[in-house]
Amino acid sequence: MTLKDLKPGESGTITGYTETTPPMRLMEMGMLPGAVVEVVRLAPLGDPIDLKVRGYHLSIRKHEAGMIEVQRV
């Protein structure tokens, strides 16, 4: 499953990527395999998503969330 499939309030551990070249910025912001990510909420129009990773809030689109493979925790 990908990060896109997690519902607000759920968390997952990143296991990998569905794409060979996800945006470099995602990695730099700490969205790397092994990191635990919590989906905090969706934006009012359903996209983007507010995530909590490494102790801070990061917002990414569902499109990018779909590139990130996770395992629900």
Give the one residue of 27, 71, 72, 73 binding another protein; rule: CB under 8 A.
Answer: 27
Binding mask 37-56 for another protein (x = CB under 8 A): ---xx-xxxxxx-x---xxx
- Residue owning tokens 């990060």: 3
For the chain, state the CA radius of gyration. Answer: 11
Q: How far is the CB of 2 from another protein (least distance, A)?
A: 15
Q: How far is the CB of 70 from another protein (least distance, A)?
A: 16
- Contact flag: residue 66 with another protein (CB under 8 A): no
- Residue owning tokens 């551990």: 13
- Contact flag: residue 7 with another protein (CB under 8 A): no
- Residue owning tokens 């507010």: 50
CA distances from 52 to 2, 7, 56 (A): 16, 13, 5
